[in-house]
Amino acid sequence: MALITLRKLLDKAAEGQYGVGGFNVNNMEQIQAIMEAARETSSPVILQASRGARQYANDTFLYHLMLAANELYPELPIVLHQDHGSAEACKSAVDMGYTSVMIDGSLKDDHKTPNSFEDNVRVTKEIVEYAHAKGVSVEAELGVIGGIEDGAGAGDMKSEYLTDPDQAVEFVKETGVDALAVAIGTSHGVYKFSKKPDHSVLVMDRIVEIHKRLPNTHLVMHGSSSVPQELLQEINQYGGAIKPTWGVPVKEIQMGIRHGVRKINVDTDTRLAVTAAIRKFFVEHPEKFDPREYLSEGRTANKKMIAERMKAFGQAGHAEDFK
């Protein structure tokens, strides 16, 4: 199956009323874990590369690893997505062959300071015109996601960072984006909430309101790792020191899916799964030193977690939609 655009994938997801996980990748083992989970669950796939990932792995290495996934799993529909890109990063991803880009015009060039609405519209329109001319989808962000991960995010979450429904309608009309990432209180990184989140910190009603006004716009939840408590416990049991923290409950994500959320970004959970497995391996096998052995443990744990998310988001069984 050929690579597909994000728009095509999310249009199908909207028809089927399910969500699709956007999983971030940095190396071969992460890509393999995602693809094996997708094959096991017969799921469509979004492979996401951040600016940090492209710098870490080298653009050519990472891009060809993702192309290898397309070659080795021909039965699965795959989107190659640039996550949280500047205008320059988005254009380079389009030129390289990515099928989708996210222009993060919500932040200034330092990737931390909130941008004005007008400047966000301006840079987003620029990328929409550039990408659409080459058949590439565009995701954009309105409001600001809190936390910092891979250089993206605005630090502490503030109420004024939340997406304004009226502005969302204007933004989509002015830019013509294919998907809109909305800020509802989620944040990047592992330290999202100091207690199990409720509606006082996770403003799910904002998604409901935006979906009512933009029923034909695909919504995206960023910073939506669930931070499983059992993974934190395992990491700390085997030498880690992660402070108490909570993520976005899966049931809240499922509520979002019922109200127009079609793409759910997951990165931290995959890092936690890999780290927990590798820490455990080294404690139980202190004599081992072969990276193939401990990386295989991380890959297996990651695959298990991703398969669980694919089932929870409803994308399992929908690879067939694209044949």
Please report, for residues 3, 37, 68, 257, 259, the alpha-carbon distance to residue 73 in angstroms, rounded to integers and kept in the order given: 11, 11, 8, 27, 31
C-alpha 323 chain-centroid distance: 24
| 190/268 Cα distance (integer angstroms) | 6
Point out the residues that are catalytic. 83
Q: Name the nearest CA neighbour of 213 among 176, 162, 169.
A: 169
- Asked if 53 and 27 touch (Cβ cutoff 8 Å), the reply is no
Using alpha carbons, select from 320, 323, 248 the residue that is nearest to residue 38: 320
DSSP E strands in the chain: the ranges are 20-24, 45-50, 78-85, 100-103, 137-142, 147-149, 152-155, 179-182, 218-221, 261-266
- With beta carbons less than 8 A apart as the criterion, state whether 142 and 119 touch: no
Token look-up 């653009």 returns 59
Q: Please report the DSSP string for 104-150 in residue order.
A: -TTB-TTSSSBPPHHHHHHHHHHHHHHHHTTT-EEEEEES--BEEET
Q: Is residue 266 within 8 Å of 25, Cβ to Cβ?
A: no
| Maximum CA extent, the chain | 60
Q: Are 6 and 90 within 8 A, CB to CB? A: no
